[in-house]
Amino acid sequence: MKRGIVHTDRAPKAIGPYSQAVSAGGAIYLSGQVGLDPATGELVAGGLEAEARRVFDNLRSVAEAAGPGLAAAVRVTVYLTDLSQFAAANRIMAGYFTEPYPARVTIGVAALPRGAAIEVDCILVP
């Protein structure tokens, strides 16, 4: 199976040994994004809501670099360090997707890279 690597400067550089996204078998797998500003590499200030907007902006940039954009999302996974922020994350996510919405999983976690409050990954099928 042939794999393609997706990269854009409009999203943060990988902070480990991984790619921003990989296409394989007709799907595109986007790595998890936290609220890092692509220009500075630093976590945005302002708590979960600011981080969530940056996360979805980053995902959108990678999805657009891959070709189909977020409209091709079939699965989204949201990781939250505080599940009481579920409604806020939902509200922000709703601004980035339209019906039919992708399937989604939300997981409560103890910690995320760089002290982030939220991380999101997704799978696209063009």
| Rounded average pLDDT over 2-21 | 95
Mean pLDDT for the chain overall:
97
pLDDT of 116: 98
CA 26 from centroid of its chain's CA atoms: 19
73 alpha-carbon distance from chain centroid: 11
Report, as an integer, the average pLDDT of 25-54.
97
- List, for residues 47-100, the tens digit of each pLDDT value: 999 999 999 999 999 999 999 999 999 999 999 999 999 999 999 999 999 999
pLDDT over threshold 90, residue 15: no
Domain that holds residue 120: 3-124
Confidence band of 1 (pLDDT split at 50, 70, 90)? confident
Chain mean position to CA 31: 7
Q: Is residue 45 over pLDDT 90? A: yes
The mean pLDDT of 16-35, rounded to a whole number, is 97
Q: What is the pTM of this model?
A: 0.96
For residue 105, give the CATH number of its domain: 3.30.1330.40
Residue 79 neighbours by CB distance under 10 Å: 20
Residue 111 has pLDDT above 90, yes or no: yes
> Total structural domains in the chain?
1
